[in-house]
Structures are given as structure tokens and as C-alpha cells.
Structure 1
Amino acid sequence: MKWKITARYLISVLSIVFIVIFVNTFILIGMLFYQQTRGIDEVSSDSGETFTREFNKYFSLENGQPVVSDEGLEALHAFGGWLQILDKNGQVLSSALAPNNVPTHYSPIELVHKYKYMDDEFNTYFIGEFESYSYLIAVPNSKEERAVFMVDAESILSYATKSLIAIIIVDLLIAMLVGLLFSTVLTKPVSYLIDRISQLKTRNFSVQETKRPGIYKPVFANLNDVSKTLQTHEEERLKLENMRDEWISNVSHDLKTPLASIQGYAELLRDLDVSQIERLEYAEVIERQSIYMKDLLDDFNLTMRLRNQDMPLTLQETRLESFVREIVIDLLNDPQFGKYEISFTSASPDLKWNIDRHLMKRAILNFVYNALIHNDETVAVTIRVTADSISIEDNGKGIAERDLEQIFERYYRGTNTENIRGTGLGMAISRDIVEAHDGSVSLSSKVGIGTAVEIRLSE
């Protein structure tokens, strides 16, 4: 995979270089062609050659001799040159604006020499023709210089072709070298990225540190964050699967006993020899077991909804002191718990929380029920409202340290809860209710001293 990416990158770089060379060559040839066909006349419209060719319009013949008009003399003066008119033998017939030391006769070789090269006074010569006469226009210190080249077209074409091929080869080699270096830097992290994504696909969520990530550093950082998140979700998923399996197992187990009782007593009711009193007793057992099964299923449904955050809360601003006091009064008025020592204290009469009164009452009652039914009748339970929490404390048996971490697990019963009836979901439900309010529950206990539960809600 790494070499495939590198090869594709190199091909892309070489393609770009080849296209650039081709386009540049095409533009260069086009510019040269344009200059040859149109560019010289346009660029050189004010050159000495053009001025000299067009200067013959200022000539006229008088008595068979060429004469320059006044307009021509002004143009010649403005151009900064001087003029000599020659006959067909090279003899100077007349001059205009010429220095005194210029020749009065020119041989053909002298004319060729002066046309091709400057003279010692740095005059540049241009030659024109009018009728059967010739004329020289010389420009001192002209900005134009004449250069003579001897060109072998075939040699130039061959040399240009070889040079172009050499340039293309060298450019492609340089591009390949540079592309290889850059591709090593750029594609190596990409290869790591592909490997990391493949690992995530195979559910390998381990966090890995990449050396020299280069410009992909933020991508690797985000991948590590994704790995952490997926790892957390994976752990949560496994935990939920274990809980689900445990729930199914425990619910099946807890339902078997009441179902067996219901089935057994239902079979006894069919016995014609059973007295009316026994029938009532059997019916009472069936009813009690049915109520237990209903409570178990209700608790199971509630804890599932709380766990999946599918339980809408009806929040009301509630003064905790009066709210908790009413719960304590109801407990004391309940014949089942009236014999217990239950007390209430408040250090914050104005403390208010936004709570679902029905669910929070159930959570508090579950904590109190656990304190009462898991201890002797001599246990004393104290419910307190402090400045920022509600606490339920007892002086009962306490909970072994090995049981503390699992006390909120569904269906978990500690080592001191033998033969205690209940669905086993009370503590888990209470914890989930508090957490649904964005709160937290902390529990501390010592064997032989007692247990304390503290409820806090975030502000």
C-alpha cells in the first residue's frame, strides 16, 4: 500500500513537470513565431531601419537631382541623424546636417562595412534608396546596435532538439528525486493512517504515538481521541452486555421461585379435599407471589429506562426540609416500620432542589428501606438535610469492604443480607434516579459501626 501511494504521487509530480515543460515550450515557440511574423514591425516601428526606409517620401527631383524637403530636414533633426546622398558610383552629391570630416566618396566595401559596423565616431549607418540614388542616414551614439550572426539552420535545429530532450530528461530526474523525497515524507504518515483505520475496523482501539507525523499531526491526534472514545464505548458495551446477561439470568432465577409457588398452589386448589380455609391460604400465597413478580418486572423496567436515559423527569423546585420531613412522617406512620427508631434533622431549611418528587422520594425510601430491613430492629436511622446534600445514616451491621464496590450493582446482595426479600434492584434504581438528576451518590460503611449514604446534586 505504501509503495502504491508513493508511485501514484511520483506519477502525479512527473506528469505536472512534463505538462509544464510542454506548455512552456509551446509558449516560447509561439512567441518566436509571433515575433517573426508581426512582432518586428510592431516593436521596431520607430527604429533607424524603418525611419530610413520611409525617409524617401521627403525626396523630390529638381533638375534631375534629389532634394530633401524642409519637412524632411526637420524630421532628420528630430531623429538625431545626418544625411548623405550618393550617386550610383558612391560619390556624395549632397549632405544635410553632416559633420565636416565625413567622406565624400564611398566604395562598395566601405558601404558594406559602415552598414554592418559602427565607425570610429560611433555612428550607426542606415541605407535607403530613392529613384537611381542611394542615401546614408547616420545616427551618432544610437541606442540601436547592429549584430551580425551566421546561422546554420540544420545545426541550430539539431542543437535545439538535443537541448530540449536533455532539459526534459534532467527536469524529470530532478522532479523524480524531489517527488521521491517528498512522497516519503507525505505518504509514510498516510500509510500509517490507513493502518490505524484498518486497526479501528478490526476493533483495535489502542492509542498509538506516531513519530514525525508532519502535517498530519492533528489527524493522528483526532484518531487517538476517536480510539479513546471507541474504547470507552466498547467497554461500556461489554459492561452492558454483561449486565444484560446478568439481568436475564437473575430475572429468570427470581421468577422461577414465585412461578413454582403459584403453579404448586394452583394444583392444590384443584384438590376437592382441600378445605375452604386452606383454599384461602393458597390463594393468598398466589396473590403475594404475583405481586412480587409484578414488582420485580416494574423495577426491571424502571432500571432499564433509567439506564437508557429514557425516563422523562418532571422537575419541580422543592424545599428539601419539608420534602424529606414528609417522607420520614410517612415511614413512622407505616405499621411495618413504626417500631424502628427513625429521626430527622435539618441544617438548611431554605435549601431547594429541582427534582422529580416521585422518583426522588422512591430513591430516598429505597436507601432507608435498606438501612431498616438489612439490620436488626434495634437499628437507629438518621436522615439529615445539610447545606448541599441529603444523608441517610444508620448504626447497624455495616457492609464488608469487599462488598462496597458492588453494592450498587443490580441484583447484588451483600454477605449480610441472607433471606432478605426484595427484587435486588433497589440500590441500583436509587443510584440511577440520582444520576438522572445529574447528581451523585456516595456510600461509606464499616462493619459493626454502620453505613452512611450521601446524595448530592450538581448546581
Structure 2
Amino acid sequence: MRWKLTGRFLMTIICTVFCVILVNGIISIVLYVYHISNEDRPTSATDFTRSLARYIAKIDEEPQISDEGIATLQERNAWLQFLDDNGNVIGHALAPAAAPQHYTPIELIQAYKYRDKNQTTTLVAEHNGVTYLVGIQDASLSKIIITSNTSSITQFIAQFALIIIIVDIVIAIIIGFIFSSFLAKPIYRMIERIRMLKNRNFAVDSKRSKGLYRSIFHNLDDVAESLKLQEEERHKLEQMRNEWISNVSHDMKTPLAAIQGYAELLQGNVSTQEQSDYAEIIEKKSVYMRELLDDFTLTMRLRQQEMPLQLVDTNIVSFVRELVIDVLNDTTFSGSEITFNNQIDKLTKSIDTHLMKRALLNFIYNALVHNEGNVALDISIEEMNEVTVITISDNGKGIAEADLPQVFERYYRGTNTRNIKGTGLGMAIARDVIQAHGGEVELVSEIGIGTTIIVRL
């Protein structure tokens, strides 16, 4: 993958260089054509010499140059001589006195090829049978004569262009390879990190990137941390589910074994009283199994948020007071001291009365059942910062500190509940009901002093 990314980047660089060369060539050709087509007057010495032909004419068979041509010579600091077929000067314009009056063919060649001691460059031209020699006094002007083969020049230009293109491509490959190494390396690391996350490897990368991709790697670390926490939570829920199934299976086996045993006894020769006793035991075990399954279904629906709440605006003060009265009327707890304190007379809350009643009664019954018969129970309700606070306190045996974190776990039974009947789901259901209403539960306890449950809605 890393070399694939590098190769693609190199191809991009090479294509870019090729496009740059092509565009530069097109621009150069366009500029040259524009320069040639918009050139108003000649600038070279040869073009200047040829342009003088427009000012030359024969008058009475004698070559003459017009006044405009003479002005042109003066502007260029040049002079002109007319020659006959034998090289004799038959006329001139602005020619110096030291200028030769006769030129042999060799002298013409020498004058054309080289400048004289006065830094005069000589050029020869012919127009309509008139031969004229032009001398330009310009020290910066030089003449280079080149002889070449046109096909060789074309071949040289093609070879030169090919070499330039190859060199440019090689340079682009070298630079692109170096640059792409730095570019592809963090991308490859990102792909590896994503592959690790896919394989559930949530280890945080120890190499902290400080470049362009710093924020990306930081976000990948955050994703890894979040997925790690979710994975741990999933394992925890999986373990809890397995424990639920194991505990339910265990709790179901005991009453089923009893039902099966007493049913077998009923098939034998037993008295009417024994039949009645065995039937009563079977009924109790059946009721227990039904309650266990109902509680199990309820706690699962609450945890999965599949339990729709039937919310009704209710005076929570009157609601809690009626619960306390119901408990006081239960002869089972006649020896217990239960008090109710309220700071306000009316406080309306939207609650599911059925589920809320079960949750609060679970807290109250736990305080009464898991303590001695003379336990004192104090229930109070107040409002603090628009939060309804229901407090249930007892002066019973208390809960060991090691047991506190597990009190609300499903099927958990503390050290002081060994001989207490129940499904083991009461506290978990009560806590889930409160949370389903958007509230929270706090448990405070100390051995020998008592236990306090604080419900905030």
C-alpha cells in the first residue's frame, strides 16, 4: 500500500512536469510569432541595409538616395556608397573622406566580414541593378557568420529537447520520491491505524505526529479510546448476561426440582392432608418461578430501554405518604418504627405510578426485611434546587463496604441476606426504574449504624 501511494504521487509529479514543458513550449512559440508579426521596423544591420532600398532610385541613369533616406542614415550613424560593376564608387551619401573610392572583390569580402579600424561595419546590398555599400559606425555591433547543415540543426534541436525532457523527468522522479516518502509515510500509518481498529486493536499510537496530520492522529487516538471503552463495556455486559442466564437457570432448577419431587410423591399412596400440603408447596414454587420470570423480563426491558413509561402528573408527597401508610398497615412489620417527614405539602412530578411504587417499596421492604424486627425507618421528602429528594434511612445492621458496589447488581445477595426469600432482582429493578425516570440513586451505609438510600428525581 505504501509503495502504491508513492507510485501514484510520482506519476502525478511526472505528468505535472510534462504539462509544464508543453505549456512553456506553446507560450514560447506564441510569443515569438507575436513578436515577428508586430515588429514595425527592422532592428538588425542587415534589415536596415535592405530597408534603404526604398529610398534609392535612378535619376538620369545615376543612382540617388532621397532626403528621407539620408535622414535615416543619420539616425543610424551610417553612410552609403554606390558602386558600379567594376567596384568603382559612383556616388555616396554621408561617406567619410577616408572611405575607399574603389573596391576589389577581395576588399569587398574583407569589408563585409570584418570591421575596420574606425569600428565601422560594412554591408553590401543590391536593388534594381544598383549596388550599394553601407557602413555603420557602431562599436557594439558585431557580425557572426555561421555555416551549418539544416538537417543537422533539426536533429540537434530534437536531441537537445529529448535530453532536456529526460533530465527534467529524472529530477522530478528524485524530488517526487523524496517528497512522496514524507507524504506517504503518515498516510500509511493512518491506514495501519484504521486496520488495527478494524481488528479490535485499540492501542494508542505512541508516535505523536507533529505535522499536517496531527489532528487526524489525535482523532484516531480518541476513536481508539472510545472503542476500547465500548469494548470493555460490551465484555462487561456479555459477562453480566452470562451471569444472568446462569443465575436464572440456577434459581429455576431449585423450584423445578421441588415441583418435580412433590409431583412424584403425589403419584404414590399419600393421605389427603399430605396431598394438600404438597399441592400448596407446588403452588408456592410455581408462583416464585412466575415472579422470577416477570422480574427478569422487567429488568431486561428497563435495561434495554424498551419499557414505555405511563407518565402521569402526580403529587409525589401524597404518593409517598400513601406508600408509608400501606406498609404500616402490613402486620408483618408491626414491630417496626416507621416515620414520614415532609418539608412541603405538594410537589407534582410526571411518573409511572405503578413502576415508581414498586421501586420505592423495594427500598422500604429491603430496609425492613434485612434488619431486625424492631428496626426504625425514617422516610422524608424535600425539594432542593428543583430536584425532588426522597430519603429512606434505617438504623439497622448496615452493609459491609465490600458489598456496597454490588448491591444494585442483578442476583447479588449480601452477607446479611442468606435466609431471605426473593428473586434477587429487587434492588436492580428499583434502580433501573429511577434511572428510567431520569433520576439517580445513592446508597450510603455503615456496619452497626444503618443504611440510607437517597433518590433524586
Mapping of residues 262-273 of structure 1, within 5 Å: 262-267=259-264
1:25-47 CA distances to partner (integer Å, 9 max, x unpaired)? 666777888899x6784365521
Give the aligned CA root-mean-square deviation in angstroms.
Answer: 4.2
Q: What count of residue pairs does the alignment treat as equivalent? A: 449
Match of 2:202 in 1: 205
1:233 maps onto 2:227 in alignment: no
Q: Does 1:242 align with 2:242?
A: no
The reply to whether residue 332 of structure 1 matches residue 328 of structure 2 is yes
Q: Are residues 299 and 130 of structure 1, via their aligned partners in 2, closer, same or farther at CA, if it must alter by over 3 Å?
A: same
Matches within 5 A, 1:156-167: 161=159, 165=163
State the match for 2:212 in structure 1. Answer: 215
Deviation at 1:92, TM superposition (A): 4.2
Higher mean C-alpha deviation, range 185-194 or range 23-32: 23-32
Structure 1 range deviating more: 108-117 or 384-393: 108-117
The answer to whether the 8 A contact 1:13-1:175 is kept is: no
Q: Deviations over 1:96-133 (max 9, x none)?
A: 5x365573636355655665566677666664422111
Say if 1:125 and 1:136, in contact at 8 Å, map to a contact too.
Answer: yes
Q: Which moved more, 1:250-259 or 1:295-304?
A: 250-259
Cα gap change, 1:334 to 1:129, in 2 (>3 Å): farther
Q: Kindly provide the CA deviation profile for residues 331-360 of structure 1, in whole angstroms up to 9, marking residues without a partner as x.
A: 334444455322122335576655444333
Q: Who is 1:442 aligned against? A: 442
Aligned to 1:411: 411
Report the CA distance between 1:13 and its aligned residue.
5.8
Question: For the structure 1 residues 267 and 139, does the alpha-carbon distance in structure 2 shift closer, same or farther, using more than 3 Å as the test?
Answer: same
Match of 2:37 in 1: 42
Query: Structure 2 matches for 1:26-41, cutoff 5 A?
Result: 41=36
Deviation at 1:86, TM superposition (A): 3.6
Amino acid at match of 1:426: G
Query: What is the CA deviation profile of residues 264-304 of structure 1, one whole-angstrom value per residue up to 9, with x for unaligned ones?
Result: 455556668653x6655555444433332222112111111
Unaligned runs of 5+ in 2: none
Give me the whole-angstrom Cα distance separating, in 2, the residues matched to 1:318 and 1:380: 28
Change (3 A) 1:149 1:334: farther
43 and 246 in structure 1: CA distance in 2 versus 1, 3 angstrom threshold: same
> Corresponding residue for 2:430?
430
The Cα shift of 1:185 comes to 3.4
Q: After alignment, is 392-401 or 109-118 more displaced?
A: 109-118
1:328 partner SS: helix
Q: Distance in 2 between matches of 1:83 and 1:292?
A: 135
Seen in structure 2, the aligned counterparts of structure 1 residues 366 and 60 have a Cα distance that, compared at 3 Å, is: same
Quick check: 2:124–2:134 contact (8 Å CA) kept in 1?
yes
Change beyond 3 A, Cα 1:89–1:372: farther
Distance 1:319 1:116 in 2: 122
TM-score (norm 2): 0.79
Q: Does 1:383 align with 2:375?
A: no
| Distance (whole Å) between structure 2 residues aligned to residue 183 and residue 156 of structure 1 | 38
Q: 1:271 to 1:132 in 2, by over 3 A?
A: same
